[in-house]
Amino acid sequence: METLKILWKKLKDGSIREMWEEWKWIYAYGRRYKKEIVLYVIFGIIGTCMTLISSIASKNLIDIVTGVQKDRILPMAVIMVGMAVISILFQAAMSRISAQINIRIQNDVQADVYEKLMKVNWLDLSRYASGDILNRFVSDTSTVAGSAIGWFPTLLTSSVSFIASLCVILYYDPTMALIALLNAPAMLIVSRLLLGKLRRSTGEVKRVNSEVMAFEQETFYNIDSIKSFDLADLFGERLQGFLQTFRQANLDYNMLSVRTKAVLSILGTLIQYAGYGWGVYRLWTGHISYGEMMLFLQLASRLSSNLNSIVSIVPSTIGATASAGRLMEILNLPHEEKIEAPEALDALAGQGFRIQLENVTFSYRDEKNILAESNFRAAPGEIVALVGPSGEGKTTLIRMFLGLIVPSAGKAVLGGADGNEIALNAATRKYFSYVPQGNSLFSGTVAQNLKLGKEDATEEEMEEALKAACAWEFVSELPGGIHGTLGEKGRGLSEGQAQRIAIARAVLKDAPVLLLDEATSALDVATERKVLKNIMKSRPNRTCIVTTHRPSVLGMCRRVYRVMDAEIVELDQEESERLAINF
């Protein structure tokens, strides 16, 4: 009745159903390698049988030596050693198969998780720190991969070994089998009582680990700023705080684990001593031989080991389901809406596209409006500027143009020369080239960075793009030139040089719409104007939208929009000129 009450409680709070769903998700990966897993199990069972035969042969050999039996010593010794060697070989084969399957499953899980993460809605995914996502991607996928095959072979081989060992003991002495069997209910009761605590403790360790990784990643990413502002000691103290929390969470989990193992060990030792005492008594009274006594001790130890293996599946399964739950949490986030452009509109890409917002309202997570009933327009052949104080919505507009976010009300569209239009979404992103704020280069060669804009670009095309961005002169002088290696985030280049390579990458893509988000902030005025003229000259019908804090750009713009107080206001020529003067 007590067991039924516990199960009913877990069914009501949903924990069993939740774990079942998480386990089904894990099992889907293991199912892809059914043949390999079956082979693994077969090898495990064969290895178990060989070990059992070796134990029986050892018993017979002892009986031969002590004179109870009169068979030959050598054949029995050969059987004992032979079975032990075969068992070792099968265990080695199992280890190899397990490693191969584990690596393949981990690759599958990471590839699937990565692909799905890339499709998750940006706004929902942005709620998670990048370090937390990385921790889930690396640590949790590894845990899931290890459990996708680990539990079933362990359960099956350990169960077969347990049953076979129990049958042998039953054959020789039913009372000894009963004593050995007492270990099972004790372990199962303790494991059941600790199920919820283990799950909560495992989840807490993973959560804290994600926080530490997020802090460390952010620290290393901004190490230049930390050093420049002489904040090393402050961040060191913060890290100590995170590590203290991490230490406490792990120690709490360790204490729970130690207590569990201690209780199980005490129970196992008491039962083992009971069996030992019974065996000594039976040997003393002449009911069993020395060989049978040794066999009982070996098999009792195997029974205890098998039970420990079976019971250990519980915490490992809990850890795996906790990891699966963390992965499923982000994978179940809404995916980006993707509305493919009609062929008629796609065919007009060469003529350029207009970007238009009509009565657009937007807010992040039900907060105050960043934009309210705002309008905007940028047409082919135009440079259009977005100006305004930081934090007022310029970057939000860039995200909306790229389809990362969608309006709460109103419409944001990409339109062709024939009047056809489509809502801005993930699918229209292919029509945009984008140069974000800050350094957006990757480690690798200059050419590899440029080919992110156009994978099959020729040397001549890359050179032309670099010239358009006023970058060819310094790139050609780098060791290795266009094939010179850059460090992480373009380390070794100035900020202005990194910006120009990023602009060249966007030019190389040759998309109908170009977004420059403070992309010329590190350039001098003359170079900035030259770059913008080259950009428009390379594709006259390109739509270019820039966010800027610099007056030098405004004189080249067809229209200037001020983004402030949740409004987008088009400035007339007089206001634009006054704005440029007062910048």
Task: Evaluate the CA torsion angle 272, 274, 279, 280 in order and state its sign.
Answer: positive
What is the average pLDDT across 26-45? 79
Residues 311 and 382 in one domain: no
Q: Which of 331, 365, 384 finishes a domain?
A: 331
| Amino acid identity for residue 282 in this structure | R
What is the average pLDDT across 312-326? 76
Q: Which residue has the higher pLDDT, 340 or 490?
A: 340
Give tens-digit pLDDT for 267-293.
767 777 777 787 788 778 877 777 778
The answer, yes or no, to whether residue 10 has pLDDT greater than 80, is no
Angle at 304 between CA 300 and CA 305, to 5 degrees: 115
The predicted structure's pLDDT at residue 521 = 77
Give tens-digit pLDDT for 432-481.
998 888 777 887 888 988 998 888 889 999 999 999 999 999 888 888 88
What is the average pLDDT across 138-156? 76
Residues 253 and 374 in one domain: no
The answer, yes or no, to whether residue 124 has pLDDT greater than 70, is yes
Query: Mean pLDDT: which of 257-266, 341-350, 385-394 is highest?
Result: 385-394
Cα distances (Å, whole numbers) of residue 508 to 440, 447, 462, 471, 517: 15, 11, 7, 13, 17
Residues 378 and 314 in one domain: no
How do 409-415 and 421-423 pair as beta strands? antiparallel
Residues 489 and 533 in one domain: yes
User: Contact, 415 vs 426, CB < 8 A?
Assistant: no
Least confident of 155-164, 197-206, 343-352, 522-531: 197-206
The predicted structure's pLDDT at residue 410 = 92
The answer, yes or no, to whether residue 565 has pLDDT greater than 90, is no
Percent with pLDDT over 90 in the chain: 9
User: Contact, 22 vs 328, CB < 8 A?
Assistant: yes
Q: Which of 300, 331, 362 finishes a domain?
A: 331
Residues 449 and 552 in one domain: yes
Residues 468 and 349 in one domain: yes
Give tens-digit pLDDT for 233-275.
777 787 788 778 878 887 887 777 777 767 766 776 777 777 7
What is the average pLDDT across 60-71? 68
The predicted structure's pLDDT at residue 189 = 61
Does 337 reside within a domain?
no
The confidence band for 3, taking pLDDT boundaries of 50, 70 and 90, is: very low
What is the average pLDDT across 61-71? 67
Does 336 reside within a domain?
no
The answer, yes or no, to whether residue 87 has pLDDT greater than 70, is yes
The answer, yes or no, to whether residue 516 has pLDDT greater than 60, is yes
Does 250 reside within a domain?
yes
Q: Which of 488, 483, 556 is nearest to 516 (CA)?
A: 556
| Amino acid identity for residue 55 in this structure | S
Q: How far apart are CA 337 and CA 403, in angstroms?
A: 9
The answer, yes or no, to whether residue 429 has pLDDT greater than 60, is yes
What is the average pLDDT across 177-196? 62
Instruction: Return the CA Rg of the chain.
Output: 34
The answer, yes or no, to whether residue 569 has pLDDT greater than 70, is yes
Residues 301 and 396 in one domain: no
What is the average pLDDT across 210-219? 73
Percent with pLDDT over 70 in the chain: 85
Average pLDDT, the chain: 79
CB burial class (10 A; 0-12, 13-18, 19+) of residue 32?
Answer: middle
CATH number at 86 reads 1.20.1560.10
Domain range holding 517? 343-582
The predicted structure's pLDDT at residue 358 = 93
Nearby residues of 547 by Cβ (< 8 Å), 6 or more positions away: 385, 386, 387, 394, 395, 397, 398, 516, 517, 518
Overall number of domains in the chain: 2
Q: How far apart are CA 415 and CA 341, in angstroms?
A: 10
The predicted structure's pLDDT at residue 359 = 93
Residues 536 and 416 in one domain: yes
Q: Which of 297, 331, 365 finishes a domain?
A: 331
The confidence band for 514, taking pLDDT boundaries of 50, 70 and 90, is: very high
Does 60 reside within a domain?
yes
Does 240 reside within a domain?
yes
What is the average pLDDT across 482-506? 84
Tokens coding 17: 């159903």
What is the average pLDDT across 146-170? 76
The predicted structure's pLDDT at residue 98 = 74
CATH number at 435 reads 3.40.50.300
- Helices 495-509 and 525-538 pack at an angle, to 10 degrees, of 10
The answer, yes or no, to whether residue 5 has pLDDT greater than 50, is no
Residues 299 and 403 in one domain: no
The predicted structure's pLDDT at residue 70 = 55
Q: How far apart are CA 129 and CA 214, in angstroms?
A: 6
The answer, yes or no, to whether residue 191 has pLDDT greater than 70, is no
